[in-house]
């Protein structure tokens, strides 16, 4: 069984490797179930690219992107990375 610190390390390492995002912030951590397995669900945020576009829509958009990482609580294996939608404020 891995603890939450190990799961966060896995999520951050994968964000760096797969998404080319070495600088992330932890937004949410929870124990969850994914496809019948116990997982750590870890939401990380990182800055969007500068190609957001001009205009009002670009200025109103959240400057962060959010990804949810599902890390097996038993083995530490990464199962999935999903887009994390944030409610409009």
Give the span between the Cα atoms of 83 and 64, in whole angstroms: 12
In a domain, 57, yes or no: yes
In a domain, 74, yes or no: yes
Per-residue exposure over 45-82, b if at least 16 CB sit within 10 Å of its own CB, e if not: bbeeeeeeeeeeeeeeeeeebbbbbbbbbeeeebeebe
Residue with tokens 């959010």: 66
In a domain, 47, yes or no: yes
In a domain, 89, yes or no: no
In this predicted structure, what is the pLDDT of residue 53?
Answer: 52
In a domain, 75, yes or no: yes
Per residue in 2-61, pLDDT (tens digit) is 999 999 999 999 999 999 999 999 999 999 999 999 999 999 999 987 544 555 555 556
In this predicted structure, what is the pLDDT of residue 52?
Answer: 47
Q: What is the pTM of this model?
A: 0.82
In a domain, 88, yes or no: no
Reduce the DSSP state of residue 7 to 3 states and report it.
helix
In this predicted structure, what is the pLDDT of residue 48?
Answer: 83
**Number of structural domains found in the chain:** 1
The C-alpha torsion from 43 through 1 and 4 to 65, rounded to 10°, is -10
Give Cα 43 to chain centroid, integer Å.
Answer: 4
In a domain, 39, yes or no: yes
Residue with tokens 């990804």: 67
In this predicted structure, what is the pLDDT of residue 3?
Answer: 96
- Domain coverage including residue 26: 4-83
14: domain CATH number is 3.10.450
Res 74 pLDDT > 70: yes
């Amino acid at each position: 069984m891995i603890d939450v610190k190990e799961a966060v390390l896995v999520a951050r390492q994968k964000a760096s490797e797969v998404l080319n995002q070495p600088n992330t912030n932890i937004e949410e951590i929870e124990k969850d179930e994914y496809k019948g397995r116990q997982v750590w669900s870890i939401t990380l945020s990182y800055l969007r690219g500068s190609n957001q576009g001009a205009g009002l829509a670009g200025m109103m958009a959240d400057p962060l992107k959010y990804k949810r990482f599902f890390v097996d609580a038993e083995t530490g294996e990464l199962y999935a990375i999903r887009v994390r939608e944030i409610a409009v404020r």
